[in-house]
């Protein structure tokens, strides 16, 4: 919907319901229509589509008609001004176009003449001869032209008749002419009816009573020195200012020669002027406003003691002073302006000043150091446009002050402040703080070790500046980078997932590895469980002492997700359990802990199914089983032997001895392995000091350990305070088939042994 602004001569606004889509040049001549006043709301004015030779307009969607939104009163809008023309402008947005039109209201005969008083009193000396004339008060008719007062008539009588005269401005005024001399002794008083008629069809009329008193002889009427007085007065004149002084003289003497002045016609309450009845001085009694009324015409009478009177006219012109500051009306204001756009309209506004002449002429300006321009468009309308494409990264918002000043004396100004925000466009790629990062990580590190952080910034704002970090595949397809290094998609923190001693000599890792980082977000990777091993030949089994307290840490689920951001946030939960209330899983840590004390009624073999789920849409998940064996002591698992096929119940009574022998042998093997590991560590140091370079000369411990809680070894070769062994069982295996895994080697790499990783900057295209 386009807003239609309508300005009238009397500062009243007439609103038209106009929706316009019209390609019309801004400098073209105004379209003028004419219609009678007092038409009902919704009356048809014109069909602009037909008049302009264009297609269907959006004034009335079906007809293109221009309609009235309310009844128009010509007298209320224009008063005595003729012709009565209403100017209005049509504003079209996007693209901005302006159009002007005029509507002329023609007068209809909707007002009757009215006299100011219901009765007029005339005092006529009996010595007045026939042919003498006496002024009468005129009737007022708000209509104009032929619809205003055209003639006067008086009721039939034998002494008087009415003569209608024309003034210089076209108005009619009556005079009562004496046809036959009056005799006070014969008839001291006469009553007549004066009628004023207009020229309408049919004519309208108004009446007043004329009462005539016959007085004694007073043969001279007062006469003014001037029949017309013309004066000017500034609109800001203070009250009681002397406007003019009129003077009349009467040749009679005594009471008949005393003159009293009065406003012949007009209400002194509403008139801004008052006259002193003795001196004839006209003074200001109410403040003037040039913008409301520019001229006043007053008729002054001078009446002597005998009732004779004379009349003159005082024309007062109000002079304009610069007492109004310009006004700015904002029509359209864009909430934001996109960057990198060519000339863009930011605001459309109009300015006005009710003063006249130079006092009403205006100029608009903005600051010189801004990339904006003010363009005049049509009849005091301006558009604020961008001078060149804006760059949000250079400046995010502009505070613009529009100054409107007139050319009067003294000059008056109006300022309007507005803020233009530059909307961000994703025109900047992320940039890393440095082109390459060199990170060092020790051998035999624990999983999820923080090895460094990469940082990137984006000059854009909002969603355009939200970064997500991920790893690009390495240039060497044989490098298992995803299983070695992970990155936090939100913070850019890098973590070593698995770097063992055996990796140092593997050809997949060189002394320096380059890792590229980009911004991506797609939930196309399900979580990958690293521990417990999901693809092992037999599910991993944890040993749990029956004396364990609630909160005992049994295992920790380790999983990664190749996605970024929210898609890589992982949560853990227990999906199935032999005893649902016995174990609990940390939702964020993945730690499997006991939830209550164990009892003899708990089954010796527990099976847990653990679920890892990401926060993508839709969420992806992975599950892994974990077996738990309840034991009475560390070295004696409490596990009843499975019944072999064909074995009768109770046939395994003699099987305890082989189990005991196996456990003792396992403990001896573990001790031997520990001693061997310490010897290998010492031999490795000696080999490195001797300069041995071959991988086979000083190999680390063999692989095969299951990631889990590390077994730390002190520098003196003794066991740390806390340690445990992990056991994997094959499904269906007997007691003799326990496989005791070796303890994980200590996280004490030799001095000078590091893995170098170089992280390259990569910006998302």
User: CB neighbours of 71 closer than 8 A, spacing ≥ 6?
Assistant: 38, 39, 40, 41
> What's the token pair of residue 627?
């077996």
CA distance 189 to 215: 9
10-residue mean pLDDT profile of the chain (765 residues): values are: 34 35 43 68 63 49 66 79 77 64 80 89 86 89 83 92 84 89 84 90 90 81 92 93 93 84 72 92 92 89 89 92 91 86 89 90 92 89 92 90 91 92 87 84 72 87 86 77 82 75 37 40 76 76 87 89 81 90 90 91 90 88 90 54 40 47 68 77 65 36 34 32 38 39 37 37 36
Res 548: pLDDT: 87
- Give the residue among 157, 152, 141 at the shortest CA–CA distance from 175: 152
Taking the model in full, what pTM does it have?
0.43
Question: Which residues lie closer than 8 Å to 73 by C-beta, 6 or more apart?
Answer: 37, 38
Q: Structural domains in the chain?
A: 30-106 (2.60.40.60), 119-215 (2.60.40.60), 223-319 (2.60.40.60), 327-423 (2.60.40.60), 431-520 (2.60.40.60), 528-631 (2.60.40.60)
pLDDT of residue 50: 61
Q: What is the pLDDT of residue 47?
A: 66
Distance of CA 505 to the CA centre of its chain: 62
pLDDT in the model for residue 661:
59
What span, in angstroms and rounded, lies between the C-alpha atoms of 760 and 765?
A: 15
Characterize the bridge pairing of strands 281-284 and 248-249: unpaired
The DSSP bridge partners found for residue 345 are 385
What is the DSSP track for 263-282? ESSS-TTTSSEEE-TTT-EE
Q: What is the DSSP track for 530-567?
A: EES-TT-SS-EEEEEETTPPTT-EEEE-EEE-SS-GGG
Percentages of the chain per state (helix, strand, coil), in multiples of 5: 10, 40, 50
Question: Would you call 14 helix, strand, or coil by DSSP?
Answer: coil
SS3 assignment, position 652? helix
- Give residue 302's pLDDT: 94
Distance CA 207, CA 571 (A): 99
DSSP conformational letter for 440: E
pLDDT at position 594, please? 93
Using omega within 30 degrees of 0 as the cis cutoff, is the peptide bond preceding 95 cis?
Answer: yes
Q: Which residues of 352-363 are buried (b: 16+ CB within 10 A; e: fewer)?
A: bbbbeeebbebe
What pLDDT does residue 261 have? 94
Among candidate residues 470, 391, 457, 461, the one with its CA nearest the CA of residue 426? 461
């Amino acid at each position: 919907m386009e807003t239609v602004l309508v300005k009238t001569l009397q500062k009243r606004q007439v609103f038209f319901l106009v929706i316009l889509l019209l390609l019309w040049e801004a400098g073209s001549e105004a379209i003028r229509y004419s219609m009678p006043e007092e038409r009902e709301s919704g009356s048809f004015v014109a069909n602009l589509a037909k008049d302009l030779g264009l297609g269907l307009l959006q004034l009335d969607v079906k007809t293109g008609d221009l309609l009235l939104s309310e009844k128009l009163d010509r007298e209320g809008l224009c008063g005595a001004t003729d012709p009565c023309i209403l100017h209005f402008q049509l504003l079209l947005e996007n693209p901005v176009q302006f159009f002007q039109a005029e509507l002329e209201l023609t007068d209809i005969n909707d007002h009757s003449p009215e006299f100011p008083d219901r009765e007029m009193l005339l005092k006529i000396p009996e010595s007045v001869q026939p042919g003498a004339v006496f002024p009468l008060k005129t009737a007022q008719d708000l209509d104009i032209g032929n619809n205003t007062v055209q003639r006067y008539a008086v009721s039939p009588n034998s002494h008087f008749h009415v003569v209608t005269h024309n003034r210089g401005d076209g108005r009619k005024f009556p005079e009562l002419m004496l046809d036959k001399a009056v005799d006070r002794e014969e008839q001291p008083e006469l009553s007549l009816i004066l009628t004023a008629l207009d020229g309408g069809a049919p004519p309208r009329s108004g009446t007043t009573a004329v009462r005539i008193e016959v007085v004694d002889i007073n043969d001279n009427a007062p006469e003014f020195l001037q029949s017309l007085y013309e004066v000017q007065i500034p609109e800001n004149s203070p009250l009681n200012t002397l406007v003019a002084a009129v003077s009349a003289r009467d040749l009679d003497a005594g009471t008949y020669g005393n003159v009293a002045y009065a406003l012949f016609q007009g209400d002194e309450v509403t008139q801004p002027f008052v006259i002193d009845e003795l001196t004839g001085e006209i003074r200001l009694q109410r403040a003037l406003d040039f913008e409301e009324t520019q001229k006043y015409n007053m008729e002054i009478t001078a009446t002597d003691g005998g009732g004779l009177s004379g009349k003159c006219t005082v024309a007062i012109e109000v002079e304009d002073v610069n007492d109004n500051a310009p006004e700015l009306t904002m029509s359209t204001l864009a909430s934001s302006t996109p960057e990198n756009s060519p000339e863009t309209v930011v605001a459309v506004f109009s300015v006005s000043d009710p003063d006249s002449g130079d006092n009403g002429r205006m100029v608009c300006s903005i600051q010189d150091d801004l990339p904006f321009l003010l363009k005049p468009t049509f009849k005091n309308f301006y558009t604020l446009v961008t001078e060149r494409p804006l760059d949000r990264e250079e400046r995010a918002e502009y505070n613009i002050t529009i100054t409107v000043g007139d050319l009067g004396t003294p000059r008056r100004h109006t300022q309007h402040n507005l803020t233009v925000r530059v909307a961000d466009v994703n025109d900047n790629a992320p940039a890393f703080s440095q082109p390459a990062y060199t990170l060092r990580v020790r051998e035999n590190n624990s999983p999820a070790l923080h090895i460094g952080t990469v940082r990137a910034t984006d000059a854009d704002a909002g969603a355009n500046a939200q970064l997500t970090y991920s790893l690009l595949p390495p240039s060497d397809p044989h490098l298992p980078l995803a299983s070695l290094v992970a990155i936090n998609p939100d913070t850019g923190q890098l973590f070593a997932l698995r770097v063992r001693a055996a990796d140092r000599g593997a050809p997949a890792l060189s002394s320096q590895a380059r890792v590229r980082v980009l911004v991506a977000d797609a939930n196309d990777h399900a979580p990958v469980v690293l521990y417990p091993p999901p693809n092992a030949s037999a599910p991993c089994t944890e040993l749990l002492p029956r004396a364990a307290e609630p909160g005992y840490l049994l295992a920790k689920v380790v999983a990664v997700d190749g996605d970024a951001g929210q898609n890589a946030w992982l949560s853990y939960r227990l999906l199935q359990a032999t005893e649902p209330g016995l174990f609990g899983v940390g939702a964020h840590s993945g730690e499997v802990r006991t939830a209550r004390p164990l009892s003899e009624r708990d089954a010796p073999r527990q099976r847990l199914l653990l679920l890892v789920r990401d926060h993508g849409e839709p969420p992806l998940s992975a599950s892994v089983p974990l077996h738990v064996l309840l034991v009475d002591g560390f070295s004696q698992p409490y596990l009843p032997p499975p019944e072999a096929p064909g074995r009768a119940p109770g046939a395994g009574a003699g099987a305890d001895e082989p189990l005991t022998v196996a456990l003792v042998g396992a403990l001896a093997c573990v001790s031997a392995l520990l001693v061997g590991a310490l010897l290998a560590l010492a031999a490795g140091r000696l080999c490195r000091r001797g300069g041995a370079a071959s991988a086979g000369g000083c190999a680390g411990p063999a692989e095969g350990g299951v990631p889990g809680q590390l077994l730390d070894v002190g520098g003196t070769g003794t066991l740390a305070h806390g340690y445990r062994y992990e056991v994997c069982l094959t499904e269906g295996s007997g007691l003799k088939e326990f496989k005791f895994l070796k303890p994980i080697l200590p996280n004490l790499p030799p001095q000078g042994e590091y893995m170098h990783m170089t992280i390259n900057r990569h910006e998302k295209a």
